[in-house]
Amino acid sequence: MRNFIIMGPPGSGKDTQIEALLESHNLTMISSGDIARKLASENNLYKEIIAKGELLDDKVIIKEVEKEISQIEPALGIIFDGFPRTVIQAEKLNEILVNNGRTLDAAVYIHVEEEEIVKRLSSRLVCPICKRNLDPHNNICPECNVEGIRRSDDEPVTVINRIQTFLDKTMPLVSYYKDRGILYEINGEQSVENVTKDILERLDFESKV
């Protein structure tokens, strides 16, 4: 198991799970959310799109992801965080991986109901310096020692749009990968540790990575 996608609605806990997977395996990550935010820091139009909870143009994101994939050493597996987000991106990812001598082994879908997502995102706080998610009950970053803030795209209106965008554009990928026999659906409404455990077990991690 070397190259795989982690997908799920905003607030499904993708980032936390990816952090746990990166700690113990020969893997690196490509995050299209990070790519999008970097592009937005140099372009106001992209900033507005993110603030509205919509998606950046497929071509722009694909180009950056392709660049990152080509720079990763072959011995490392890749976790894709937030990419692909559309069927067009998924098709393109297959092509890019083949061109880089890789294949996609799994698409992990972390399932969380809409009501729970709204609840989670409206109380989410992040560190303004290192951007990590903080424990809402102890709103101080353990690394940077500063108070957490709400992510600008976690404002309620944007949250609703992000969920809608997920349902319209990204949900079709669940059937896309199911049809290809590589979908692994995980219940995201359990403790962080149990979600990680499920992912590791379902992907048969220890033996294949």
Binding site for ligand ADP (CB under 6 A): 10, 32-33, 36, 49-50, 53-56, 61, 82-83, 85, 89, 153, 162
Shortest Å distance, C-beta 166 to ligand ADP: 7
Virtual torsion, Cα 157, 161, 167, 171, nearest 10 deg: -120
Nearest residue (CB) to ligand ADP, 91 versus 206: 91
Active site residue 208: no
Question: Of these residues, 2, 85, 92, 169, which one is catalytic?
Answer: 85
Active site residue 119: no
Query: 31's torsion region: left (phi>0), alpha (psi -120 to 50) or beta?
Result: beta
**What long-range pairs does 34-40 form, CB within 8 A, spacing at least 24?**
34/81, 35/61, 35/64, 35/65, 35/68, 36/61, 39/64
Shortest Å distance, C-beta 53 to ligand ADP: 6
Shortest Å distance, C-beta 117 to ligand ADP: 10
Q: Does residue 107 contact residue 7 with C-beta atoms inside 8 Å?
A: yes
Active site residue 47: no
Active site amino acids: 14, 85, 124, 151, 162
